[in-house]
Chains A and B, each alone.
Chain A
Amino acid sequence: QQQVKQSPQSLIVQKGGISIINCAYENTAFDYFPWYQQFPGKGPALLIAIRPDVSEKKEGRFTISFNKSAKQFSLHIMDSQPGDSATYFCAASSSADSWGKFQFGAGTQVVVTP
């Protein structure tokens, strides 16, 4: 079964708006949560990542919010731009597991309209 559940499946937002993508997990051993951005025909690129010892991490227009008690984390894209149109994947891994074994969410296709 999918260990990381991602929603929504797709998202349309106007230029300048806020895109919000949510992920939930069950495995409390997960201790590293990256987000990847994938453009059509390209491989996923690391966007931003967070560990559970912080509740929020911001890099430019991208912010991860983390709620350890709820076992949820989300990606916020502020001031969304047409160039942000891509598929976004959340992921999770555990340092107690074999290194590099990531569980990926199903992905969210974001379309930013001009």
Chain B
Amino acid sequence: SAVISQKPSRDICQRGTSLTIQCQVDSQVTMMFWYRQQPGQSLTLIATANQGSEATYESGFVIDKFPISRPNLTFSTLTVSNMSPEDSSIYLCSVGQISGNTIYFGEGSWLTVV
């Protein structure tokens, strides 16, 4: 499986600010996704990051709050905008190959909003 690197791994953010999380993969991948994992909870898909076009968002997630970019097959960013304490979560980048079956996760970015 690919090596997935996320930055930052952890951050404490002020309410009302925005933070961009980067996801870098060591090989080209067909599919990239962003998940959210709230403390002690399961994983929820935020959106599919589409190369060169707008991301596909799941119900309950909007582009204004979670803008996503994917300029190429190895890199994506997720911005959490106008943060509130409710946004305190682990944000996980995941990748997969459309020729395969499953997805693999990065180590996650743990955000705490104060």
A residues in contact (CB < 8 Å) with B: 2, 32, 34, 36, 41-46, 49, 89, 98-102, 104-107
Contacts and interface: CB of A to CB of B under 8 A. Distances in A.
A49 B96 contact: no
Given A42-B108, A102-B45, 20 more contacts: A32-B102, A34-B102, A43-B4, A43-B92, A44-B105, A45-B105, A46-B1, A46-B102, A46-B104, A89-B43, A98-B48, A99-B31, A99-B96, A99-B98, A100-B31, A100-B48, A101-B45, A102-B43, A105-B42, A107-B42
The DSSP consensus for interface residues of chain A is loop
A98 B31 CA distance: 11
Contacts of B107: 42-43
A100 B42 contact: no
Given A43-B108, A100-B33, A49 B102 contact: yes
B53 interface: no
Nearest to A36: B105
Interface residues of B, number: 24
Contacts, number: 50
Interface of B: 1, 4, 31, 33, 41-45, 48, 56, 92, 94, 96, 98, 101-108, 110
Contacts of B48: 98, 100
30 contacts: A2-B42, A32-B101, A32-B102, A34-B101, A34-B102, A42-B108, A43-B4, A43-B105, A43-B106, A44-B43, A45-B104, A45-B105, A46-B102, A49-B102, A89-B42, A98-B48, A98-B56, A99-B31, A99-B98, A100-B31, A100-B94, A100-B96, A101-B45, A102-B43, A102-B103, A104-B42, A105-B42, A106-B41, A107-B41, A107-B42
